[in-house]
Structure 1
Amino acid sequence: MAKAKARREELREKLIEAAEKTIVAQGHAALKARALAEEVGCALGAIYTVFPDLAALILAVNARSFALLGTILSREAEAAAAAGGGPRAIANRTLIALANGYLDFAANHGGRWHALFDFRLPDGQELPAEHLRQQEALFQHLETPLAALQPALPPSERALLARSLFSAAHGMVLLGLEGKLVQLPLPYLREQIALVVSAMGRGLESA
């Protein structure tokens, strides 16, 4: 039984790695069960002894992508704090750094980014608890500087504000990178995001 469990776990890791490679290179829409089976050297049906469907496999890759994004955002927040200054100055600088860190993730890891925010589960399926926890961790990066700018704001309202701020940054990144309205050069997009987020931070500080 222990050997069977080890083989199953080994197959699981191989499938995640193969799916991750496809998503990074071609996007999640390119993921095909037969191609995955051929790449890892297993029977087509063996995939479904490890994952109930390809959606679950995409979510497993997304968990790795969330972890990568979290690492990038943590690094940006630490660098912003290390630059010094008062709590509110650090908070404003952190918000800008987080927004540009998110832009860098989207620009440099497009396949992962699209899988995180474009992929939709089949009807009737719900996101697993771990996936929701990773989403919450993403917003927590924003809630920390927001607490410095609006210390009297109740936690529930701060959580909503973090989501609104993320939505604004995500919209700018999406429109800028995808050329939905006009495609912007990355340095210019970075400047515009910093300008908008900085204005929002100053508005929160004076509210």
Structure 2
Amino acid sequence: MTPTEARRERLRALLIEAAERAIADKGLAGLKARELAHEIGCSLGAIYNLVQDLDELVLRVGSRTLSRLDDALSEAAARSPAGTDSAISTLVAVALAYSSFARDNLNLWRTLFEHRMTGGGEVPEWAVAEQLQMFRHITGPLEILLPDAAERNLLTRTLFSAVHGVVAIGLEDKLVAVPRRQLDQQIEILVRLIGEGLLRTPNVKALFFQRE
């Protein structure tokens, strides 16, 4: 790597870190290119030699957020023992870890879902792949409860949507924010009901693929 390339990489890292701080402090609306340029000591135009555009910058920050979220979910899952009964406990632990991460990193977490590509552009494949990678924390425990891959993949998304919705609404100040303990209790009830329902339902496929 040449000195020029090394300097560019250092500036790029500084830019992403500065963007992360800005979003964490003020949300996505707080991301201002001119302020970032001033903070890292470069010209406004130089930013676009470091990233393609602000969309890429937001996605790079999101990548860092997802990495930390992945670590939090992995740690939660690792604390759960193996076995059919514990699969539900693992799902609960992962869901509660997700809620805790969202609360502790509220603006960065919200940005993962609020950001839209400028001009309706498509999210790059690398970013999509990182997002989908998170589902393995749900799919893994569900493999014990729901052996069929097609059913499991569908329920993975449904379960994530359910927990995410509870967390998003529970943390929304514009509505009625739910105290942390009560929010965690509601999440655990939801996940346990779904998990125990899988164990007790003799023909899950009939529920997933019923035709009118």
Q: Same fold (TM over 0.5)?
A: yes
One-letter code of the match for 1:158? R
Give yes or no for the alignment of 1:144 onto 2:140: yes
Unaligned runs of 5+ in 1: none
1:159 to 153, 163, 169: 153
Aligned to 1:146, the other structure's residue is in SS state helix
Residue equivalent to 1:116 = 112
Amino-acid identity (%): 44
Instruction: Give the CA deviation at 1:181.
Output: 4.7
Summarize deviations over 1:157-194 as a string: whole Å, max 9, x none: 32221111000000000111104653211101100110
Summarize deviations over 1:33-82 as a string: whole Å, max 9, x none: 0000000000000000111211110100000000000000000001122x
Residue equivalent to 2:88 = 92
Unaligned runs of 5+ in 2: 202-212
Instruction: Give the CA deviation at 1:22.
Output: 0.7
Tell me the TM-score normalised to structure 1 length: 0.93
Q: Pairwise mapping of residues 12-91 of structure 1 onto structure 2 (< 5 A)? A: 12-81=12-81, 87-91=83-87
Aligned to 1:158, the other structure's residue is in SS state helix
Corresponding residue pairs, total: 201
One-letter code of the match for 2:146? Q
Residue equivalent to 1:173 = 167
One-letter code of the match for 1:182? V
RMSD of aligned alpha carbons: 1.3
